[in-house]
Amino acid sequence: MGCFHSKICRFSTPGYEDPTLLAAETAFTVSEVEALYELFKKISSSIIDDGLIHKEEFQLAIFKNQNRRDLFADRIFDLFDFKRNGVIGFGEFVRSLSVFHPNAPVADKIAFAFRLYDLRQTGYIEREELKEMVLALLNESDLILSDDIVEMIVDKTFDEADKKSDGKIDEEEWKEFVLMKPSLLKNMTLPYLKDITLAFPSFVMNSEVEDSE
């Protein structure tokens, strides 16, 4: 039996949250949050139609292949899943994507990227973690680099970023480092998010608000 009213359907969806509240907390307008719901519905129904994004659905949306694994896609999924229940609800999706909005504060982007690289969640990016990430990516690519070259790249990075020379990069060092090298935050901004209402015009049909701005 289908839903007769889209609003009732949405509010009975697990993890759904009021777009007005989400817009107030994030870099998005109400219209943009509603357009994001169209994207969310598509991703969250791609394998299991339960109104939640499972890891396989997230991977399918990123790689167009649910079986492909990637260290960073896993890490990003875990960071989006801030309730730590193994799935991403609509509120988590919007709040997390907000960091990637062109208008989001740079400090939020810097903090998110730090948490992404802090694989073991120790509060530091450690030398071994950084090498592990480089090796994981090399494994997934056709690029071959000798261990000496990898060591050299990691050493040079630590020479520049680890100002305290204690073998780990803390959040303050990370902030100073990326402010010197803003290109490292390139992946933290998604220009698409500014045009999300154009990408999902169907949100207008399902809008809950008369005037969304």
Partner 1 sequence: PFYNAFEFISSMSSGFDLSSLFEGK
Residues binding partner 1 (CB under 8 A): 39, 42-43, 61-64, 70-76, 97, 100, 116-117, 130-131, 133-134, 137, 141, 143, 153-154, 156-157, 160, 181, 183-184, 186-187, 190, 192, 196, 199-200
Nearest distance in Å: CB 76, partner 1: 7
Nearest Cα to 51, choosing from 90, 25, 85? 90
Place of tokens 């015009």: 201
Nearest distance in Å: CB 175, partner 1: 13
Nearest distance in Å: CB 89, partner 1: 16
DSSP code of 212?
A: -
Angle made by CA atoms 22, 26, 29, in degrees to the nearest 5 = 75
Tell me whether residue 9 or residue 116 sits nearer to partner 1 (CB atom).
116
Tell me whether residue 83 or residue 156 sits nearer to partner 1 (CB atom).
156
Query: Strand, coil or helix: what is 25?
Result: helix
What is the rounded distance in angstroms from the CA atom of residue 10 to the CA atom of residue 66? 26
Tell me whether residue 50 or residue 192 sits nearer to partner 1 (CB atom).
192
> What's the chain's Rg over C-alpha atoms?
20
Tell me whether residue 7 or residue 181 sits nearer to partner 1 (CB atom).
181
**Contact between residue 19 and residue 34 where contact means Cβ atoms under 8 Å apart:** yes
